[in-house]
Amino acid sequence: MQPSFSVNVGYTWSHAIDDNQNEATFADPDDVYDPADTRLEHGTSNFDVRQRVAGAIVAREPWRPHGAAGAFLGGYTLAATGDWRTGLPFSMRTAGSIPSPSCSYQDWLSAGGATGDGADCLKIVQQPNATLDAGAVAVPVAALGATLNGSGGEDLILPIGRNSFRYPATANLDLRLAKRIRLGDHNAVELLGEAFNALNHQNLTAVQTVGYRLTNDTQHANMANLIWQSGMKPGSTVQLVNGTSMSIPVFDATAAFGGPTNANSSALSRQRQLQAGIRLDF
């Protein structure tokens, strides 16, 4: 005889640490921040799930009626499975490239410094970080390469570190209600109703990881700015504020660092789904 009620619950705490795993078909020499110091890569793994609770419950009617009452009141099963876990880690990224000097500091010194009369680009750079003259023609600034360190590879901010932020926690609950009707000694019909992600919980599968954007400084030569991605953008509407027409900034959650960009779109996490079915056992 099967028990009328069973529970199975488990809790796991873990901390996965690695040296920044690299999944690639071919070698990627620029996926580390500093090839000369791989200790900088040591930290929390991309797959670290710090806490997880999972369980299942199966309940059947405790009574065993017979005859017509048994056919109506018996054969029910309610089952539920669910899990909750802390979110996966992610790193703050940067977008853009650092500018290479339009003239090197050594060239600037060789041309006589601030009072020299060297190449055209040196005429604009009065000092290594001086303000450009109002009438000066800006020299096109080339880039060392993509990303903050100019390698075109790792684009995190070293003092902040790797995998210092986390996705929100995820949760899922699946339910199943079944009614089994016996048709003689060997045959039966089972009516099924199921709900997946019954709580319709928003499980984020992607967030905005760019925290800062690199832009060339239009006021100073050979310099760049780090622009924080707050999500605020110039507004498309103009409102009257204290008698003055002003463009009102608008907030774009997908542009803000950590803002959600996708949810419930993986094989294991979908929006709420309901289904019903009939199964014949013979």
CA 171 and chain centroid, separation:
16
pLDDT at position 108, please?
58
Higher per-residue pLDDT: 142 or 167:
167
Which of 28-32, 88-92, 179-183, 257-261 has maximum average pLDDT? 88-92
Note the pLDDT tens digit of each residue in 86-107. Answer: 999 999 998 887 765 555 556 6
Give 213's contacts (C-beta < 8 A, 6+ positions apart).
94, 95, 96, 226, 227, 229
Residues β-bridged to residue 193: 177, 276
Residue of 3, 113, 117 lying closest to 58 (CA atoms): 3
Note the pLDDT tens digit of each residue in 202-242. Answer: 899 899 999 988 877 766 655 677 888 888 766 556 666 66
pLDDT at position 110, please?
66
pLDDT at position 107, please?
61
Q: What predicted TM-score, i.e. pTM, was given to this entire model? A: 0.71
